[in-house]
Amino acid sequence: MWPQKLKKQIQLFVMTVFMLLLIGGGIHVVFADEEIRSLLFDWFERKEDESIEAIETTILKEQEKQMNRIKNELQKTIAEAEERIDIFTENEKKRRIIQLEQHANDILKTIKIEDAAIEAEVNEQLMEIIERAISEMDAISNDLQPFIQED
């Protein structure tokens, strides 16, 4: 049959091929496992990025919507407050004017001017002025007495 040496070479060859197939198959399984991990990792990473982007977009849209709502409500509230302040201011002005008019009327009611009293006071002041003038003229006359010749 086959010579011993050839048999051993064929066995060595078959074992080498078998070992290479085992190693190659194992490597292929290892690479396939790594490829599956890589695919899964990429898929999860892509989904994570898509989810984050979708969440951020939704949050930004909702934030803008709520900011507009707040701004509109704030403008409405400010307008209402402004109107209330204007009404309050007008009412207070009217109330204060009425108070001032009433106070002025009260003062005018208490003031009674009598013509006789005014005339008496004016006459008194005029008499004081006249008396002062007469006394000043008398003083001057007394000072000039030595220079006046009597007839």
Higher model confidence: residue 65 or residue 140? Answer: 65
CA distance 121 to 105: 26
CA distance 70 to 86: 24
pTM exceeds 0.85, yes or no: no
Residue 64 near residue 57 (C-beta atoms within 8 A): no
Structural domain spans, the chain: 43-136
- SS3 sequence, the chain? CCCHHHHHHHHHHHHHHHHHHHHHHHHHHHHHHHHHHHHHHHHHHHHHHHHHHHHHHHHHHHHHHHHHHHHHHHHHHHHHHHHHHHHHHHHHHHHHHHHHHHHHHHHHHHCCCCHHHHHHHHHHHHHHHHHHHHHHHHHHHHHHHHHCCCC
CA distance 9 to 7: 5
Residue 62: which pLDDT band, with cuts at 50, 70 and 90? Answer: very high
Residue 2: which pLDDT band, with cuts at 50, 70 and 90? Answer: low
CA 97 to chain CA mean position, Å: 35
- How do residues 77-124 score in pLDDT, each as one tens digit? 988 988 888 888 888 888 787 778 777 777 767 766 667 777 788 778
Residue 116's identity, in one-letter code, is A
CA 75 to chain CA mean position, Å: 12
Phi, psi at 26, each rounded to 5°: -65, -40
